[in-house]
């Protein structure tokens, strides 16, 4: 038995959702320019799930955010995310439309400290639980007729960064992975950057052989 090699189980590839499908679900919740009479819990949900998407954060990490974790200085907006094992990472908020929606949400709810996403509409509750967020996400997905697991928001963001040419190390830091080995799984997915380079190389080769 000592001479038998250890069986290595291959890691499964993450399953990212498409940006179009994510947009469908977010639109079902509300638009980025919500009506003034929109219930606060729906506005909260839109900001919560979009935070997970644009930051590449775990849903549990987003549910645990506090107002104090935000740094919304103009043109240098960041959020401090508390990850696994007590790790903390700072993520740039580089989507202007999202930042505008986040500021609108803060103005509507009036929070200046404490949990960013609260369980009760009146603002006196504790942080929204992961289970509650997961249940609400599934309900919105059903309404949009799209099947996306809540964790696929994180995968979608990571894949978009890789396809945009962002380095593995930069994506690793943004996602809070302990090592690049985990992050490199995203590079094994449909890499549009690599596909474009390969097609361009083939076209150049074809022209040279004519």
Could you list the active site residues?
Answer: 58, 84, 151, 154, 177, 186
- Compute φ and ψ for 9, nearest 5 degrees: -90, 120
Given a contact cutoff of 8 angstroms between Cβ atoms, the answer to whether 16 and 189 are in contact is yes
Residue 207: partners with Cβ closer than 8 Å, 6 or more residues away: none
Would residue 180 be called left, alpha or beta, if left means φ above 0 and alpha means ψ between -120 and 50 degrees? alpha
Q: At what angle do helices 96-109 and 40-55 cross, to 10 degrees?
A: 150
CA-CA distance, 110 to 124, in Å (whole number)? 12
């Amino acid at each position: 038995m000592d001479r038998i090699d250890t069986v290595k189980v291959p890691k499964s590839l993450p399953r990212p959702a498409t940006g179009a499908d994510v947009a469908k679900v977010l639109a079902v919740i509300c638009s980025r320019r919500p009506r003034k009479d929109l219930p606060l819990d729906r506005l909260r949900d839109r900001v919560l799930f979009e935070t997970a998407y644009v930051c590449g954060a775990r849903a549990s990490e987003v549910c645990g955010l506090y107002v104090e974790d935000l740094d919304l200085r103009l043109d240098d907006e960041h959020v401090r995310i508390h990850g696994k094992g007590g790790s903390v990472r700072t993520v740039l908020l580089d989507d202007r439309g999202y930042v505008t929606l986040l500021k609108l949400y803060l103005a509507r709810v009036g929070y200046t400290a404490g949990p960013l996403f609260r369980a009760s509409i009146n603002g006196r509750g504790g942080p929204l639980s992961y289970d509650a967020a997961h249940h609400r996400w599934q309900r919105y997905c059903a309404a949009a007729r799209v099947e996306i697991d809540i964790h696929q928001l994180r995968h979608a963001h990571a894949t978009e960064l890789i396809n945009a040419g962002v380095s593995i190390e930069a994506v690793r830091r943004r996602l809070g992975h302990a090592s690049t080995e985990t992050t490199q799984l995203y590079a094994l997915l449909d890499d549009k950057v690599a596909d474009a380079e390969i097609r361009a190389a083939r076209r150049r080769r074809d022209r040279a052989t004519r």
